[in-house]
A and B are shown apart, each in its own frame.
Chain A
Amino acid sequence: MTSCSPPSWESSSSIFLNDITPIGLGVLDDQIWISDGDNNRVMTLDMSGEILKTYDEIERPMHLDISDGKAYIPSYGSDDILIIRGDDIDTLSVDVEFEAPAAVSVSGTHIAIADFYNNRIAISDGSSWKSVGKKGKGPVEFSYPTDVQIFEDKIYVADAYNNRIQVLDIEGNHLQTIGEDQGMNAATGIYTDGVEIYITDFEHDRVLIFDMEGKVLQIIDQGLNKPTDVLLHNGKMYVTNYKGKYISIYEK
C-alpha cells in the first residue's frame, strides 16, 4: 500500500533584490509587485528580478493586493489605500477610520483592510464599510493584524502578535482559529488557495502550511530570513525575505 500524503514544497531558487527590503508581494501579468517599506516605494519586477518600474514616495507601503488589473497598496505611513493602474495613482475612498493599514485584499466588490493599530479588520461589501474586532486574544480579537486575504466568502487574517490565523466569514464573524499551538512569533503574511493556508512566522524564519481544517502539513524552516509575505503563482510558492532582501521560490 502506498502513502497518499501530498508532495512537499522543496526549495527551487531565489530572486535577489539588492537594496529592496520586501514586505508585500503580488503578481500581475507575470510581473512581481513588491512593497519596499524601508525605502517608501513600490516596484515591479520581471520574473527574473529585473526592475521594471518604481513608484516612489509611497509612505511605508505594506501587504499589497492585485485585483482586476490594479494594484492596491496600503500606505501604513499616510493611512491611505492607493490604487495603481499603469501610471495612474488614486486613493481608495473608505468610510471607516483606520490607523496604519498593514494589508488590503480585494475580491470582486469586497474589500478587507488590516487596521494595525486599531486591532480591527475593515470590511466593505462594495456599498458600505464596517470594522470588526478589538485588541485581545479571543475570537475576532486581534493583536496587531498585519495581513488579510479574502478567498471566496471568507477572510483570512494574519493575527500577527497573537501568533495565529483567524478565519472570519465575509461579515466578520469568527469561523476558525488556526496555528495557536505552533509557537509562532509574529505571524505576518498569509495566503490561501482554498486548498492550503500559508503563513510566515517572521521572528522564527519559517513558513507554516496548513490544510483548511488547520492541520499542519509542512513547516519550512531553512533558507528564510525574516519572511513577511507568501503567495502561490503558476504552481510555485514565493516568499519575501525582509532581512535577507530576496524572494525564495519553492516547487512541489
Chain B
Amino acid sequence: MKYLKIILIICSVIGLTSITEINAQKKGDMDKFTVQVDGLGCPFCAYGLEKKIKKLEGIKKVKIDMEDAVMTFNYPAEKELTMEAVEKQVDEAGYTAVGTSVVRADGTVEKNELKISDKINQNRVVKASIPVAGTCGMCRARIKKVTRGIEGVVESDWDEDTQILTVKYDKDLTNPEAIEKAVAGAGHDTQNVKASDEVYENLPACCLYDRKSYN
C-alpha cells in the first residue's frame, strides 16, 4: 500500500510537470531571441540580415537596433529553435553573431557566449601577425569570431587599415597554419591560404574585398 501511494505521488508529479510544459509551450507561446551581431556598420548589409532572418519559417517580425547592433525576434515555442541554429543562420548569411540569449516561453533564460578553453597554458602563449584581407567592421567581427573559436586562441583582432590579424595562442594547441585555414574558411584570403570562391561570393556586399591582394 505504501509503495502504491509513492507510485501515485510520482505519477501525479510527472503528470503535473507534463501539463505545465504543455501549458508553457502551447500554440501561440513565443520564445524571445536576442542576438548581438557584431560589425553592423553598413545599412544595406544590416537590412539584408533582417530580410534573411525573416525567411526562417515562423518569424513575422525582426527588429534590428543599429545603434546597439542587436537583433530581436520572437519564435513559436513549440518549434524549440535552438540558439545554435539561430547563430548558424546568422553566420551562414555572412554576418557574425557574437552572443545569443533566449527567454523561453516558460520563463527560462539561456545564454550562448564564447568561452576560452581551460586547456590553455599561459606559459605557452605566443603572438603572431598574419596578413588577412578584408574591408570593414563586419569583416573584423567575422575574423575575430572564427579565430577566437579555435581551441588554443586566447586573443585575436584584425585591423582594417593594416590588414593584419594579431593573434595570441597556445602553441601546443594550435598554430598559424590552422589559424589561416580557419580564416580562409570564413571567406577571407590570408597570406598563405586562399578562401574558396563560393565562400567569398557569399560574404555580405560590404565585405567583398579586393582579391588581387594575395594573387
Contact = CB atoms under 8 A, between A and B. Distances in A.
Interface residues of A, number: 27
A146 B44 contact: yes
A155 interface: no
Contacts, number: 50
Interface of A: 21, 23, 37-38, 60, 76-77, 99-100, 102, 116-117, 135, 143-144, 146, 160-161, 185-186, 188, 202-203, 226, 228, 242-243
A76 B43 CA distance: 11
B128 to A, nearest CB: 27
A100 B42 contact: no
Interface of B: 41-44, 47-48, 50-51, 66, 135-136, 201, 205-206, 208
A21 B135 contact: no
A161 B206 contact: yes
Contact of B205 (A38, A99, A144, A242): A144
Give the 4 A-B residue pairs with the shortest CB-CB distance, closest first: A144-B205, A60-B47, A38-B66, A161-B205
B66 A21 contact: yes
Contacts of B48: 100, 116-117
A226 B137 CA distance: 13
Nearest to A163: B210
B206 A37 contact: no
A203 B206 contact: yes
19 contacts: A21-B66, A23-B43, A37-B43, A60-B43, A60-B50, A99-B51, A100-B51, A116-B44, A116-B48, A117-B48, A135-B201, A144-B44, A146-B44, A160-B205, A161-B206, A203-B42, A203-B135, A203-B136, A228-B43
A242 B208 CA distance: 21
A60 B47 CA distance: 7
Given A160-B205, A161-B208, A203-B136, A21 B43 contact: yes
A96 B48 CA distance: 20
Contacts of A117: 48
Q: Which of B42, B44, B51 has the most C-beta atoms of chain A within 10 angstroms of its own C-beta?
A: B44
B210 to A, nearest CB: 9
Nearest to A99: B51
Nearest to B62: A77
Contacts of B51: 76-77, 99-100
A24 to B, nearest CB: 11
A161 B135 CA distance: 11
Given A38-B66, A203-B135, A203-B136, A143 B208 contact: yes
A135 B203 CA distance: 13
Contacts of B135: 185, 203
Given A185-B135, A202-B42, A203-B136, A37 B208 contact: no
Given A100-B48, A135-B201, A243-B41, 20 more contacts: A21-B66, A23-B43, A38-B43, A76-B44, A77-B47, A77-B50, A99-B51, A100-B47, A102-B44, A116-B44, A116-B48, A116-B205, A143-B208, A161-B206, A188-B44, A202-B42, A203-B136, A203-B206, A226-B41, A228-B43
